């Protein structure tokens, strides 16, 4: 790391991480009902992985996105011989997405994002109040 981290750096990294988290959950929800003709081509949910980053000069800890990876969960086989994508056995494969878990993920990331925005707003107000002191 270069210069010491500030409150605004910490909040920016947190906001960016929560946005990645929310985008992954939104992508998973959007593809929850995706159907494929075989297990290998079925949609696999995205999972963001985060890592801690410690600023040794200030002792502050922040987060960074270590990567976004596809889940290794198995596709779900459904017997639907009337479906145009059905294989020779009459099976189609759907994405292994738990819609309830993805909604909880979106709500939690949204709440964390709001908390960070509120912290920035409070810091801004404190700085303005300090500048107004005579």
User: pLDDT by residue (tens digit) across 20-45?
Assistant: 999 999 999 999 989 998 889 899 99
Q: What is the mean pLDDT of the chain?
A: 91
Looking at the chain, the whole-number percentage of residues with pLDDT higher than 90 is 63
Nearest to 4 by CA among 52, 64, 61, 57: 57
Distance CA(1)–CA(32), nearest Å, equals: 39
User: What's the Cα-to-Cα distance from 16 to each of 20, 25, 31, 124, rounded to whole Å?
Assistant: 6, 14, 23, 19
User: What's the Cα-to-Cα distance from 126 to each of 5, 10, 54, 89, rounded to whole Å?
Assistant: 18, 17, 26, 66
Kindly report the number of other CB atoms within 10 A of residue 42's CB atom: 21
Residue 65 is predicted with a pLDDT of: 94
> Model confidence over 34-74: pLDDT tens digits?
999 888 989 999 999 999 988 888 788 889 999 999 999 99
What pTM value is reported for the model? 0.84
Cβ distance 96 to 75 under 8 Å? Answer: yes
């Amino acid at each position: 790391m270069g210069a010491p981290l500030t409150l605004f750096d910490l909040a920016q990294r947190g906001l960016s991480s929560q946005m990645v988290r929310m985008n992954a959950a939104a992508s998973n929800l959007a593809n929850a009902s995706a159907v494929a003709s075989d297990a290998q081509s079925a949609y696999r949910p995205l999972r963001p992985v985060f890592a801690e980053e410690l600023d040794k000069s200030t002792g502050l800890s922040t987060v960074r996105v270590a990567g976004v990876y596809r889940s290794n969960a198995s596709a779900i086989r459904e017997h639907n011989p009337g479906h145009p994508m059905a294989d020779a056995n009459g099976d189609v494969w759907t994405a292994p997405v738990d819609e309830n878990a993805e909604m909880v993920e979106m709500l939690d990331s949204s709440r964390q994002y709001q908390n960070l925005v509120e912290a920035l707003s409070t810091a801004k107000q404190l700085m303005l109040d300090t500048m107004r002191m005579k």
